[in-house]
Amino acid sequence: MLRYDKSDDSYSQEVMDFLVEIVDREEISGNPLGIAKQALDRGIASLSTKQLNVIQRFIESYQNRNECDVCLNDNVNSFIDSIYVADFGTCAVCEEARNKFMAD
């Protein structure tokens, strides 16, 4: 799993986008929820190393629970992709390939 680097703005934005979705969907609770809300309110850079580890473990657990039935997450390239898998059982790449195959 990726580790947070304060100089990596794209990673920070990906985590923030993921947290917005997960909080809105009410798929996070307890300590991780409080930490996620802090990150959303004050920015990911406001989190301590311990808090970042909690968020990273939550993301890793979420990804492990939501695995693409086809590629086993080989095509899952972002945290948001994991939400797609949670909704549809497959990642967007495999879903598109399946739809293309069915159309032919």
Three-class DSSP labels, 43-82? CHHHCCHHHHHHHHHHHHHHHHHCCCCCCCCCCCCCHHHH
Reduce the DSSP state of residue 42 to 3 states and report it: helix
How confident is residue 12, by pLDDT bands cut at 50, 70 and 90? Answer: confident
Cα separation, 59 vs 53, whole angstroms: 10
Instruction: Go through the chain and tell me how many residues it has.
Output: 104
Give the per-residue pLDDT at 5: 57
The mean per-residue pLDDT over the stretch 77-101 comes to: 92
Q: Taking the domains of the chain in order of start, what are their residue ranges?
A: 1-65, 67-104
pLDDT category of residue 7 using cuts at 50, 70 and 90: low
Report pLDDT digits (tens) over 15-51. 999 999 999 999 999 999 999 999 999 999 899 999 9
Contact (CB, 8 A) for 90 and 70: yes
